[in-house]
Amino acid sequence: MAVGIFDSGLGGLTVLDAVTRRLPDQPFVYFGDNAHAPYGVRDADDVYNLTTKAVERLWEAGCDLVILACNTASAAALRRMQENWIPRDKRVLGVFVPLIEALTERQWGDNSPPREVAVKHVALFATPATVSSRAFQRELAFRAIGVDVEAQSCGGLVDAIEEGDMILAEALVRSHVDALKRKMPNPEAAILGCTHYPLMEEIFQEALGPEVTVYSQANLVADSLADYLVRHPNMRGTGTEEMFLTTGDPSKVGRHATRFLKREITFIKA
Ligand code: DGL
């Protein structure tokens, strides 16, 4: 009955935390590819090769459904995986669509033509690879018209979070928000388009100001997953145990994860 949650490193824990609260009886297997993080500075082939390898490991662990709790992998690799790689009895879902549906006030599976929405000026904070893929703008254009998106690629931020250097991470958030505001002085909404960034959500909100609505993915993904599993109960998988896998150093990764989630987390080598 396990569902797989994948990220390049620690960021997917923000999604894991939300899905565990939303679905307390559902076991999850987490895979952090910490040895190869950050993905945000890698090219698309590299992200595809690393992501497919990790997803295969989660299939081995009994997870027929895997959530890519990583915008970089969702943006750079998911479409290619869905086109020709995923077997019929398995599913891999990304984290972009629930966020865009929330921003564009859509219900799940509403495929009507794009229409005007309330929000007009949106700031997107994401990794360099996600920004250059333009996947967010592409998915948004399917659903909304007249939305101006200004993307800020937040170089260095994932590395600082992975290293646990929160002083550097905070300074980087403030300087990336300043850079964004020079291009778009008054955004109405800000998207945290990397699953590592909710770990810095308070700083983003403080630097952006109280009038900006900050969207982060964890709860939106949790709601979409709960809905998906009701409609596809057969995708709950055969695994029965919660597990945390990493390609990095399990004790170091476990220490950081324990601090972020405020509960004891033990990682094992993937
Ligand atoms: N947390 C991931 C994302 O959502 C990956 C960040 C990275 O490895 O650069 O994009």
Q: CA 216, CA 197: separation in Å to the nearest integer?
A: 8
CB 19 within 8 A of CB 95: no
| Residue 6: partners with Cβ closer than 8 Å, 6 or more residues away | 12, 30, 31, 33, 51, 54, 55, 58, 66, 67, 68, 69, 70, 73
Decide: 71 in ligand 1 pocket, CB within 6 A.
Answer: yes
Q: Determine the distance separating the centroid of ligand 1 and the alpha carbon of 112, expressed in angstroms.
A: 30
Share of the chain above pLDDT 90, in %: 87
Looking at domain 3-95+218-269, its CATH architecture is: 3-Layer(aba) Sandwich (3.40)
Tell me the per-residue pLDDT of 85-127, one tens digit each, with 9 for 90 and over: 999 999 999 998 888 988 888 876 778 899 999 899 999 999 9
Pocket test for ligand 1, best of 31, 68, 70 (most atoms within 8 A of CB): 70
Tell me what pLDDT residue 1 has. Answer: 64
pLDDT tens-place string over residues 218-238: 999 999 999 999 999 988 866
User: Over the stretch 183-201, which tens digit does the pLDDT of each residue have?
Assistant: 999 999 999 999 999 999 9
Predicted confidence band of residue 81 (pLDDT cuts 50, 70, 90):
very high
* Distances in whole angstroms, Cα of residue 46 to Cα of each of 37, 73, 139: 12, 10, 23
Residue 218: name the closest of 210, 226, 209, 208 by CA.
226
Q: Is the peptide bond before 38 cis (omega within 30 degrees of 0)?
A: yes
User: CA 123, CA 212: separation in Å to the nearest integer?
Assistant: 10
**Domain locations in the chain?**
3-95+218-269, 97-217
From ligand 1's centre to the CA of 74, what distance in Å?
10
pLDDT at res. 241: 82
Total Cβ atoms within 10 A of residue 159:
18
Smallest Cα–Cα separation from 228: which of 32, 18, 66, 60?
Answer: 66
The answer, as to whether pTM is greater than 0.85, is: yes
Q: Which of 86, 99, 73 is nearest to 9 (CA)?
A: 73
- What positions carry a catalytic annotation? 70, 194
pLDDT band at 239 (very low <50, low <70, confident <90, very high): low
Residue 168 CB contacts under 8 Å (≥ 6 apart), including other chains: 156, 160
Domains 3-95+218-269 and 97-217 share a fold: yes
- pLDDT tens readout for residues 30-49: 999 999 999 999 999 999 99
> H or E element: which one contains 162?
helix 157-163
Structure token digits, residue 140: 């948004």
Nearest CA to ligand 1 atom 9: 40
CATH architecture observed for domain 97-217: 3-Layer(aba) Sandwich (3.40)
Q: Give helix 166-183 / helix 201-208 axis angle, nearest 10°.
A: 40
Is the distance from CB of 157 to CB of 170 less than 8 angstroms?
Answer: no
Going from the Cα of 49 to the center of ligand 1, the distance in angstroms, rounded, reads: 15
194 CB less than 6 Å from ligand 1?
yes
